[in-house]
Amino acid sequence: MKGVPVESVGRGPPLVLLHGWAMHSGLFAPLLPRLIDRFRVHLVDLPGHGHSASVSPYVLDTITAAVGEAVSRVVGNAVPATVLGWSLGGAVALHWALTSPDRIARLVLVATTPCFVSRVDWPHAITETSLRQFGAELSASYRLTLQRFVSLQVQGSEEARAVMAQLRAQLFARGEPSRVALHDALLLLARTDLRPEIGAISQPARVIAGERDTLVPPAACEWLARTLPHASFRLIPRAAHAPFLSHPDAFMSAFADDR
């Protein structure tokens, strides 16, 4: 299937869901019964993932343009959408808010960081060496590396076994993601540093973190919530990188809490 397909379900104001690296939008299926009575939910496979064609070059500008065009075809341009972005999807959501502010009404940023790798002035991240090692392993043993990545996403969560089963069941449910796109996306994660631009994002935002997340430490999410002009922070105790799967009740409370 060419382009970026969008699956839509429910009734209400538009809500766009953007998944993380190596995954696809089918991962959000357990959330849908909690959302479709309140929102018209639009599930998007990021370029190079799921049923979506990739883009070149694989950078935030081209990814956001492809996603924005696909969503506009379905939603139109009259009503701005709430965008829920998880991990890589959160970085896309931030960039989308910067480049098309009139299209975004609200951000919900889950396990999202402005900078995925540690730097001299940014300790709240994994090391670039770790990310490069992951890329090398991806070339050597594709499926095993993706399965190991799933394990890292649940590491520390009190619901690790159940969430790992969900993630592994979904991992190849839409075929194998493009190996080239996955490598390009890892390079994107290594290079991305949105910190200088975060203060220019004007939309209200909710930043949600898992207390035991080892891929995107809660401190990164706290920084993001403090630096966004109109944001609030919610920490989900005993959750890791996928709190919407491991702790859906707490996640939905954090999602809906307008305080």
Check 45, 95, 213, 246 and give the catalytic one. Answer: 213
Residue 120 carries which side chain, given as an amino acid letter?
V
Query: How many other C-beta atoms can be found within 10 angstroms of the C-beta atom of residue 190?
Result: 14
Q: Mark whether 193 is an active-site residue.
A: no
Q: Mark whether 87 is an active-site residue.
A: yes
Query: How many other C-beta atoms can be found within 10 angstroms of the C-beta atom of residue 92?
Result: 27
Burial of 53 (0-12, 13-18, 19+ CB in 10 A): middle
Check 24, 49, 95, 241 and give the catalytic one. Answer: 241
Are 195 and 66 contacting, i.e. CB atoms less than 8 angstroms apart? Answer: no
> CB under 8 Å, gap of 24 or more: what pairs does 226-230 form?
227/114, 227/195, 227/198, 227/199, 228/198, 228/199, 228/201, 229/199, 229/201, 229/202, 230/202, 230/203, 230/204, 230/205
Distance between CA 145 and CA 147 in Å, rounded? 5
Q: Mark whether 183 is an active-site residue.
A: no
Find tokens 């018209």 and name the residue: 40
Check 52, 87, 157, 246 and give the catalytic one. Answer: 87
Helix (H, G, I), strand (E, B), or coil: what is residue 63?
helix
Residues with a known catalytic role: 87, 213, 241
